[in-house]
Amino acid sequence: MEKQWKYIDDQMEIETRRSFKKAIILSTYHDIRLQSMLPIYPILQSVYDRYHPLHLDFSDQYFSWNSLQGTQTTKTDAVGDLFKQVKSRLSLEWDPAIQVIYKKNTLRYKEIFPEGKKPFRVGEIDTRIGAFNTLLKNIGTDKALDKIAKQIDPEYQSLLSARKVQVGAIGNTGSGSGAVETARVAAMNMQYRNVGFVMDQLFDVRDKVLPLIIDLKTLRQKNQVTFNGSLANGAKKEALEQTFLNTDTFAIKLTGTGSLKLYLATDADSIDSEPIPVAAKANTVIKIADFKVTDLFNHRSLIVASDGNGDVKYRINLL
For 36-91, how does the pLDDT look when each residue is reduced to its tens digit (9 = 90+)?
899 999 999 999 999 999 998 888 888 777 755 554 455 556 677 788 888 888 98
Weakly modelled stretches of the chain, pLDDT under 70? 1-5, 67-78, 165-177, 223-224
Cβ-Cβ contacts under 8 Å for 96 (sequence gap 6 or more): none
- Distance, CA of 280 to CA of 257 (rounded, Å): 6
- Distance, CA of 93 to CA of 84 (rounded, Å): 14
pLDDT value, residue 179? 83
Among the CATH numbers 2.70.50, 2.60.120, 1.10.1400, 2.60.40, which is that of 224-318?
2.60.120
For the chain, how long is the longest CA-to-CA vector? 90
CB 226 within 8 A of CB 274: no
pLDDT value, residue 167? 63
pLDDT value, residue 175? 45
- Distance, CA of 26 to CA of 243 (rounded, Å): 9
What are the distances in angstroms from CA 152 to CA 99, 133, 159? 16, 9, 11
Q: Over the range 215-253, which residues count as b (16 or more CB within 10 Å of their CB) and which as e?
A: beebbeeeeeeebeeebeeeebebbbebbbeeebebebe
- Distance, CA of 126 to CA of 159 (rounded, Å): 10
- Distance, CA of 235 to CA of 261 (rounded, Å): 11
Cβ-Cβ contacts under 8 Å for 167 (sequence gap 6 or more): none
Cα-to-chain-centroid distance, residue 272: 27
Neighbours of 59 (CB within 10 A): 16
Provide the strand spans (E) within 274-311: 276-278, 283-287, 301-306
Name the helix (H) or strand (E) containing 126. helix 125-139
Cα-to-chain-centroid distance, residue 133: 34
pLDDT value, residue 50? 93
pLDDT value, residue 106? 93
Question: 283-287 and 226-231: which strand pairing?
Answer: unpaired
pLDDT value, residue 174? 45
Residue 304 phi/psi, 5-degree rounding, is: -110, 130
Counted residue by residue, the chain has a size of 319
CB 132 within 8 A of CB 156: yes
